[in-house]
Amino acid sequence: MSFFKKLKDKFTNQSDTVTEKFKDGMSKTRESFLGKMNELFARYRTVDEDFFEELEELLIGADVGVETVLELIDELKDEVRLRNIKDTSGLAPVISEKLAEKLDKTGEDSALNMQENDMTVILFVGVNGVGKTTTIGKMAHMFKEEGKSVMMAAGDTFRAGAIEQLEVWGERVGVDVVKQQAGSDPAAVMYDAVQSAKSKNVDVLLCDTAGRLQNKVNLMKELEKVKKVISREIPDAPHEVLLVLDATTGQNAMSQAKTFGQATDVSGIILTKLDGTAKGGIVLAIRNELDIPVKYVGLGEKMDDLQPFDSEQFVYGLFKELVEETSEETEED
Is residue 155 within 8 Å of 177, Cβ to Cβ?
Answer: no
User: Pairing state of beta strands 204-207 and 120-125?
Assistant: parallel
- The CA-CA-CA angle for residues 224, 229, 230, to 5°, reads 100
Known binding residues for GTP: 126-133, 208-212, 272-275
Neighbours of 149 (CB within 10 A): 16
Residues making up the binding site:
126-133, 208-212, 272-275
